[in-house]
Amino acid sequence: MKQLLLKSLALAVIAAAGHASAGVVVVTPADMNAGVNSWTLANYRGLSTGHTSTTVAAINTVNPRSGNGSVQMSLTDASGKADFAYAWGFDSTRTLGTLSALSYDWYRSSGGTSDTHLQPAMRLTYDADGDASTLGDRGYLIWEQVYNGGGMVLDTWNSSNILAGNYWQRQFSPGANVDNYIPLQEWMSAGRPATSDLLTANSAVLGIEFGIGSGWGGSFNGFVDNVTFGFNGESTTFNFEAVRAAEVPEPASALLVGLGLLGFAAARRRKSK
């Protein structure tokens, strides 16, 4: 019986290790702005930068989502703006064609005076031809709830799996919007808008970001957490926390510990006999 249990635990360890295609990374204020492969506060416009908006863009405990914190994003007038960006630059394995996961949790508080359809938007930064030496073909593909059906639910966390959603395009050069709201597959097809950057499955994804502002009128208060992106079936979820909690072993590690303890107990019993 003990041998059967040991064998079952071993198989469970193998299965858990074989399916470890997703990971969770905790991001605290101390982890921000640490260079490559870290989240960075970008495009901030607030009192400290000469604008009239009291803009907040920080990880805090005001409205925790999955633990003790989340990212608060708020502004008090149209001059405010803030983005949280994660950029990795050119990576041949990270393209529009290999993008396999994209989701996030977001929240809009009631009481703000900005347009009722606004919420923290998600953006993919692309390079259309996948060539680092050409600079005139970069931009954003932007996801917003208003272009994806369903009403805005205030004062509650919304979980949006946006991989198959509708996006519009913002071209860095010549600084123009392509206001078509279509899925990623259509942006990569021959039926894409004629005025758009020519995206394909080989278009490089250079990073992701979420943010508020850029001409929003009135006041706004919202939150973001659990941002997930992945390529080729491997994904990472970023859980924003005010304070890092004690590390919890991954399932495979916990099973290995359990297996070791069970084997040790069995050995002790044999020795005592």
**The pLDDT value given to residue 178:** 98
Tokens of 193: 């808008």
pLDDT confidence of 269, banded at 50, 70, 90?
low
pLDDT of residue 44 exceeding 50, the answer is: yes
Question: pLDDT (tens digit, 9 = 90+) per residue, 118-161?
Answer: 999 999 999 999 999 999 999 999 999 999 997 789 999 999 99
Q: Tell the residue number behind the tokens 């469970």, with chain if given.
A: 12
Summarised one tens digit per residue, pLDDT across range 247-262 is 544 454 444 444 444 4
Least confident of 3-7, 12-16, 155-159, 238-242: 12-16
Q: What pLDDT is attached to residue 150? A: 78
pLDDT score recorded for residue 11: 37
* 8 Å CB contact between 76 and 216: no
In one letter, which amino acid is 55? T
Q: Which two tokens stand for residue 262?
A: 């069970």
**In which band, very low, low, confident or very high, does the pLDDT at 16 lie, cut at 50, 70 and 90?**
very low
> Average pLDDT for residues 217-244, to the nearest whole number?
97
* Predicted confidence (pLDDT) at residue 79 exceeds the cutoff of 50: yes
Reply yes or no on whether the pLDDT at 189 is more than 70.
yes
Q: Among 17-26, 79-88, 156-165, 234-243, whose mean pLDDT is lowest? A: 17-26
